[in-house]
Amino acid sequence: MVGVGSTEPRAQAPAWPAPERITVAVIGCGAVGSLFAANLATLDDVEVWAYDLAREHVDAINRDGLRLTGAGEVTARVRATSDAGELPACDYGIVATKAMHTDSAIAATAHAFANGCVATVQNGIGNEEVLARHVERVIRGTTFPAGRVVAPGVVQWDVKGDTSLGPFEDRPAPFEEVERLADACSRGGMPTRAVRDARGPQWRKVIFNAATNPLGALTGLTHGRVCEQPPLRRLASQLVDEGKAVAGAQGIVLDADPEELIDYAARPDVAYDHKASMLQDVEARRQTEVDFLNGGIAEFGRRLGVPAPTHEAIWALVKGVEASW
């Protein structure tokens, strides 16, 4: 506060306008959702809500705050709820559920974003299309940081990484709104770029995930061991090549080669021992995200007339695994 005796006239003081306060609701406060929620909540100008169906997790967040540990130590005040009716009108939504829950999650919460923009930071392709059925302004997003919920209200932050956000072509959020969200995420500790065409980063990640996750899930091998076996590594390359052809047919320019990401992740100091999330899902007999990874690539391929027979085969096998439970 400016003191009574100050010579500085209060009205002219700020060098730039104080940032407008924004309200963000994270929809699906699992590992990735928590990284966004907790980091954004460290900012004075952001009010963060978290919507999640796990009651214990919600109660712990409201009682003790949302805690990140590992790659960063953060404990943040976040308003958590399992009741979508409690959400206020929000400027932004960040959807971070597993891909198969997108529709039910956004159907329940869409009212909060009547005047806002909704971003997805989920795995796979096809999530934006689902959001666009419920809200007007959609942001296509891809995020690389990873973690896991280790206890109610506590998330182990395993890997730091970048996020890309861009307007979703069919129902775009205004670019300046995308920039404002990217700016808030970056200031909060989640480095985020606003880009005009966010498909390149998204397809790079989808191709990477679709080429590696199901191989781990079907064989039981960690990422590093998948890459060590030349025949299996070639199978991953086959999946990458089919994915690149499907992306190329849409005019998408990948922002980096998924092959490099595969080899980088196989390094002992990166993710050699990492069990792909799909392998963790299979071991726990949980529905996987294969429909949005290999299934997404296969469906885009069909629509575009670009064959993706290996993705089709892998998709069918993982669906078969799910059917065996």
Q: Which neighbouring-strand residues pair with 163?
A: 143, 192
Please give the single-letter amino acid code of residue 189. G
Shortest separation between residue 312's beta carbon and another protein, angstroms: 7
Shortest separation between residue 111's beta carbon and another protein, angstroms: 33
Number of residues that bind another protein (CB under 8 A): 29
Q: What is the DSSP letter of 168?
A: -
The structure tokens listed for 317 are 């096998």
Shortest separation between residue 288's beta carbon and another protein, angstroms: 12
Residue from 219, 256, 260, 273 in contact with another protein (CB under 8 A): 219
Max Cα distance, the chain (Å): 78
Residue from 220, 256, 260, 267 in contact with another protein (CB under 8 A): 220
Distance CA 131, CA 232 (A): 35
Q: Is 168 in the site for another protein (CB under 8 A)?
A: no
Distance CA 178, CA 165 (A): 7
Task: End-to-end CA distance of the chain: give it in Å, rounded.
Answer: 63
Choose among 63, 111, 108: nearest CA to 82: 108
Query: Which of 98, 160, 205, 319 is flagged as catalytic?
Result: 205
Q: Is 100 in the site for another protein (CB under 8 A)?
A: no
Q: Considering beta carbons, is residue 101 or 225 the nearer one to another protein?
A: 225
Q: Is 303 in the site for another protein (CB under 8 A)?
A: no
Q: Is 226 in the site for another protein (CB under 8 A)?
A: yes
Report the chain's C-alpha Rg in angstroms: 21
Return the sign of the alpha-carbon dihedral for residues 293, 296, 299, 303: negative
Cβ proximity of 214 and 294 under 8 Å:
yes
Q: Is 317 in the site for another protein (CB under 8 A)?
A: yes
Shortest separation between residue 299's beta carbon and another protein, angstroms: 8
Task: Please confirm, yes or no, whether 275 is among the known catalytic residues.
Answer: no
User: Taking contact as CB under 8 A, which single stretch among the options 57-65, 126-134, 218-226, 247-255 is the one that binds another protein?
Assistant: 218-226
Active site residues: 205
Per CB under 8 A, residues contacting another protein are: 215, 218-221, 225-226, 229, 231-232, 234-235, 238, 291, 295, 302, 309-310, 312-317, 319-321, 323-324
